[in-house]
């Protein structure tokens, strides 16, 4: 019987397999940032262990860093960033600190350096590591104990998750993006729907996505509960990779591409579960609640809790509406927002900024609008294209690279009761700052919303 | 890691679903570089509400958290596990867990127990009726017991063994250092390094 893509990549990385034990899996790339690593390095020191493969490890500063120029003013954040610097120096790990041309959100810099390649295993102490699956890699988030384990051994003991295919037929209509697709998928299968699975996104609509779009889709796999999400590599993948600093060159490039072309699910392979979605029926999506599964097409209204037959979902909806300050039946297009955030590992890449700029060109924003490039290289490229001038002319703020308003760990936060349209990945209570209310949207919807001050699709302008 | 064999204690019913790790420990608490002191941040935002279950003196000292489905979704922060443990919890019972949270828990000796949704509800109701109810979580026997109820749960043999023995994963893996070295010699030549 044939094998799925996930099974092929997994098998390639099994160091040791024994009856009744998890597989010992080799890790090709370990990404590190300031928040989930300090206790892991402490653990190494306590046990007198070193980093087995510093040459397969890379660190950056992203979660805590301010996105305006200048030092970190919060002393606790500052200590954490300084701790990463000390640890990277002590253990010989390459670090891209604040101000460095290679600094950025950990999941943006891996692909941009060409370190993320098809068929690899990639981990990071961050749940959005699934982003790298866009290249046909198995990439997943881990906790600090596992960070320490990978530092010490370059492996992880793990049971292979089950496999799920999400088959996306048809084509995304104009104005409907990768973000809308993944929000629609999560709304369909729920925040636990992918639990225990590696998801492979397949089908015509997925094949037509750019690498940036594929990264957006895979990024939010965790929001559907999946351990990882991946997409088979193809010409789009190879074209993105070729010439990047860490991509193979010359004869090795040819060998690699030959191998990468085998990284597809065999025609006779069987998935443990299959979900089918028709892309042609999709419209821009927006979340109304406090988990990423609570999403609807922008054309709909805030749902009534009574419309949920499942009592758990009904209770969750009731609580979400109360937290979000929304009334059932209100058209989503009438929901007014205070702040718009374009950025994050979900939508902080150049294509996302271009999409937002296209809508903001020649227009004025009505809300506080933060445009935050995902990395210093994205920032540089955007500035070379003049996008920063478009944003500034529209009245938006053009920032330095970082996680910014995705997660409420740095100065970019919402105030209690403030409402945002955000291109990030989580609308949890307090995610963007205590009491903040988040609506997850695409960069296009975010930009259009900034112009009107209400949740808006570009086509409405 | 602290070994886990059998634990008996009182329980705290948390009647919420999708308890993401941002709720368990808000991001502002993640800036610490130590492993201690996280109990103060446990459910920090929710605890500001006087009616939140952890503020109810009837449940003080509870060591078994009984939650709605999809507990520990979202962020990979292991700080969520540390916060629960440092607050005093030894076990979390729910119908479904976030994968990363469940993994992190078993690395630290906090036992995540999956029970069917109706059994979770029955336990929550029993605890609400009598907050002094003694709940026993028996990892050796793979069952949860309260009053006259006995409900089995599944956990893989390997994880159960590690928890029962309190074994450190890194130590176990380093027994196979030769296998790792052999694997490394056969890795594909085009794979990137960060240097």
Q: Which chain A residues contact residue B116 at CB under 8 A?
A: none
Q: pLDDT per residue over A14-62, tens digit each?
A: 999 999 999 999 999 999 999 999 999 999 999 999 999 999 999 999 9
Report if residue B59 sits inside a domain.
Answer: yes
Do A212 and A351 contact (CB within 8 A), yes or no?
Answer: yes
Task: Give the nearest partner residue to B73 out of A79, A225, A246, using CB atoms.
Answer: A225
CA angle, B111 as apex, B108 and B114 as ends, to 5°? 140
Which CATH number does A5-273 carry? 3.30.499.10
Q: Pick from B24, B41, B67, B73 the residue to mutate for testing the A interface (most A CBs within 10 Å).
A: B73
Q: Between residues 376 and 405 of chain A, which touch chain B (CB distance below 8 Å)?
A: none
Task: Give the nearest partner residue to B170 out of A152, A313, A408, using CB atoms.
Answer: A152
Report if residue B107 sits inside a domain.
Answer: yes
pLDDT of res. A368: 98
Q: Which chain B residues contact residue A315 at CB under 8 A?
A: 15-17
Residue A11 pLDDT greater than 90, yes or no? yes
Q: Can you read off the two tokens belonging to residue B141?
A: 């026997």
pLDDT of res. A444: 98
Alpha-carbon distance A137 to A115, whole Å? 11
B107: closest CA of chain A, how far (Å):
7
Q: What CATH number is associated with residue B176?
A: 3.20.19.10
pLDDT of res. B168: 86
Is A408 in contact with B27 (Cβ distance < 8 A)?
A: yes
Q: Which chain B residues contact residue A196 at CB under 8 A?
A: 99
Is B170 in contact with A149 (Cβ distance < 8 A)?
A: yes
3-class SS at B151? strand
Alpha-carbon distance A289 to A152, whole Å? 41
The angle, 0 to 180 degrees and rounded to 10, between the axes of the packed helices A106-113 and A376-384 is 70
Task: Give the nearest partner residue to A291 out of B18, B33, B169, using CB atoms.
Answer: B18
Residue B30 pLDDT greater than 90, yes or no? yes
Q: Can you read off the two tokens belonging to residue A382?
A: 């955007």
pLDDT of res. B143: 98
Task: Please give the interface size between A and B, counted as residue pairs whose CB atoms are below 8 Å apart.
Answer: 207
User: Taking all residues of chain A, what is their mean pLDDT, rounded to a whole number?
Assistant: 97
Q: pLDDT per residue over B83-104, tens digit each?
A: 999 999 999 999 999 999 999 9
Mean pLDDT for the stretch of residues A191-214 = 97
DSSP string, A12-42: HTEEE--TTSPEEEE-SEEEE-TTTSHHHHH
Do A284 and A441 contact (CB within 8 A), yes or no?
Answer: yes
Residue A417 pLDDT greater than 90, yes or no? yes
Report if residue B162 sits inside a domain.
Answer: yes
Is A155 in contact with B180 (Cβ distance < 8 A)?
A: yes
Q: Which chain B residues contact residue A252 at CB under 8 A?
A: 189-190
Is A47 in contact with B98 (Cβ distance < 8 A)?
A: no
Search chain A and give the residue with CA nearest B172.
A157
Report if residue B190 sits inside a domain.
Answer: no
Report if residue B192 sits inside a domain.
Answer: no
pLDDT of res. A409: 93
Report if residue B194 sits inside a domain.
Answer: no
Task: Give the nearest partner residue to B194 out of A56, A74, A148, using CB atoms.
Answer: A56
Annotated binding-site members of A for [4Fe-4S] cluster = 345, 403, 406
Which helix (H) or strand (E) segment holds residue B114: the answer is strand B111-114
Is A143 in contact with B81 (Cβ distance < 8 A)?
A: yes
Give the strands of the sheet with B149-152, arranged side by side. B6-9, B135-138, B143-146, B149-152
Report if residue B79 sits inside a domain.
Answer: yes
Alpha-carbon distance A272 to A281, whole Å? 26
A292: closest CA of chain B, how far (Å):
10
Residue B115 pLDDT greater than 90, yes or no? yes
Report if residue B156 sits inside a domain.
Answer: yes
Q: What percentage of chain B reaches a pLDDT higher than 70?
A: 100
pLDDT of res. B2: 81
Is A143 in contact with B183 (Cβ distance < 8 A)?
A: no
pLDDT of res. B106: 96
Residue A187 pLDDT greater than 90, yes or no? yes
CATH 3.10.20.30 fits A329-460, yes or no: no
Sequence-ordered list of residues with C-beta below 8 angstroms from that of B60, at least 6 positions apart, any chain: none
What residues pair up with A375 in beta bridges, in sequence order?
A104
3-class SS at B143? strand
State the span(s) of chain A assigned CATH 3.30.499.10. Answer: 5-273, 329-460
How many structural domains compose chain B?
1
Q: pLDDT per residue over A113-137, tens digit each?
A: 999 999 999 999 999 999 999 999 9
Q: How many helices (H) and strands (E) does chain A have?
A: 16, 19
B167: closest CA of chain A, how far (Å):
13
DSSP tag of A302: P
pLDDT of res. B189: 98
A107: closest CA of chain B, how far (Å):
14
Q: The domain containing residue B47 runs over which residues?
A: 6-185
Q: Which chain A residues contact residue B154 at CB under 8 A?
A: none
Is A24 in contact with B76 (Cβ distance < 8 A)?
A: no
User: Taking all residues of chain B, what is their mean pLDDT, rounded to a whole number?
Assistant: 97
Residue A219 pLDDT greater than 90, yes or no? yes
pLDDT of res. A255: 98
Is A145 in contact with B73 (Cβ distance < 8 A)?
A: no
Alpha-carbon distance A439 to A295, whole Å? 9
Q: What percentage of chain A reaches a pLDDT higher than 90?
A: 100
Q: pLDDT per residue over A128-175, tens digit each?
A: 999 999 999 999 999 999 999 999 999 999 999 999 999 999 999 999
Going A309 to A310 to A315 to A319, the CA torsion angle's sign is: negative
Alpha-carbon distance A360 to A363, whole Å? 5
Search chain A and give the residue with CA nearest B46.
A429
């Amino acid at each position: 019987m044939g094998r799925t893509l996930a099974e092929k990549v997994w098998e390639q990385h099994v160091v040791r397999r024994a009856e009744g034990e998890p597989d010992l899996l080799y890790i090709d790339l370990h990404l590190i940032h300031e928040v989930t690593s300090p206790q892991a390095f402490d653990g190494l020191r306590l046990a007198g262990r070193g980093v087995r493969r510093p040459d397969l490890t890379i660190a950056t500063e992203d979660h805590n860093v301010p996105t305006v120029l200048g030092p970190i003013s919060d002393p606790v954040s500052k200590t954490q960033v300084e701790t990463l610097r000390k640890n990277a120096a002590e253990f010989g790990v390459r670090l891209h600190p604040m101000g460095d041309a290679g600094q950025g959100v950990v999941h943006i810099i891996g692909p941009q350096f060409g370190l993320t390649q098809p068929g690899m295993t990639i981990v990071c102490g961050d749940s959005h590591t699934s982003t790298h699956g866009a290249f046909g890699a198995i990439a997943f988030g881990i906790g600090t104990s596992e960070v320490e384990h990978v530092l010490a051994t370059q492996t992880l003991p793990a049971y292979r998750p089950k496999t799920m295919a999400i088959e996306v037929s048809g084509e995304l209509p104009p104005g409907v993006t990768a973000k809308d697709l993944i929000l629609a998928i999560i709304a369909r299968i729920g925040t636990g729907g992918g639990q225990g699975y590696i998801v492979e996104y397949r089908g015509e609509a997925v094949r037509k996505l750019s690498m940036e779009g594929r990264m957006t889709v895979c990024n939010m796999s965790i929001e559907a509960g999946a351990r990882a999400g991946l997409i088979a590599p193809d010409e789009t993948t190879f074209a993105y990779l070729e010439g990047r600093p860490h991509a193979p060159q010359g004869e090795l490039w040819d060998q690699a591409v030959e191998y990468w072309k085998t990284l597809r699910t065999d025609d006779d392979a069987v998935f443990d579960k299959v979900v089918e979605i028709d892309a042609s029926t999709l419209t821009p999506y927006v979340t109304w609640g406090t988990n990423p599964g609570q999403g609807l097409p922008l054309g709909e209204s805030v749902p009534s809790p009574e419309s949920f037959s499942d009592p758990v979902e009904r209770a969750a909806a009731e609580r979400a509406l109360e937290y979000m300050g929304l009334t059932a039946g209100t058209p989503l297009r009438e929901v007014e927002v205070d702040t718009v955030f374009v950025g994050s590992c979900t939508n902080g890449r150049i294509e996302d900024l271009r999409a937002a700029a296209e809508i903001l060109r020649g227009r004025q924003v009505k809300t506080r609008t933060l445009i935050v490039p995902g990395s210093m290289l994205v920032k540089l490229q955007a500035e070379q294209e003049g996008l920063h001038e478009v944003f500034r002319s529209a009245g938006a703020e053009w920032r330095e690279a970082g996680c910014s308003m995705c997660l409420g760990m740095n100065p970019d936060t919402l105030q209690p009761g403030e409402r945002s349209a955000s291109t990030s990945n989580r609308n949890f209570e307090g995610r963007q700052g205590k009491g903040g209310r988040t609506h997850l949207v695409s960069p296009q919807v975010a930009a259009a919303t900034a112009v009107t001050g209400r949740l808006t699709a570009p086509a409405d302008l | 890691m602290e070994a886990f064999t059998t634990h008996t204690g009182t329980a705290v019913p948390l009647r919420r679903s999708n308890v993401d790790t941002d709720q368990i420990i808000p991001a502002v608490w993640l800036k610490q570089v130590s492993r201690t002191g996280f109990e103060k941040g446990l459910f920090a935002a929710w605890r500001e509400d006087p009616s939140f279950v952890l503020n109810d003196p009837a449940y003080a000292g509870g060591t078994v958290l009984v939650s709605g489905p999809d507990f520990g979704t979202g962020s990979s922060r292991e700080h969520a596990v540390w916060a629960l443990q440092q607050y005093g919890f030894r076990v979390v019972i729910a119908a479904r867990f976030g994968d990363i949270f469940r993994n992190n828990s078993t690395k630290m000796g906090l036992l995540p127990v999956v029970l069917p949704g109706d059994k979770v509800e029955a336990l929550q109701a029993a605890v609400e009726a009598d907050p002094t109810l003694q709940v026993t979580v028996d990892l050796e026997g793979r069952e949860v017991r309260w009053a006259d109820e006995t409900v089995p749960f599944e956990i893989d043999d390997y994880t159960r063994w590690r928890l029962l023995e309190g074994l450190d994963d890194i130590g176990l893996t380093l027994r196979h250092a030769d296998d790792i070295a052999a694997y490394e010699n056969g890795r594909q030549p085009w794979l990137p390094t960060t240097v």
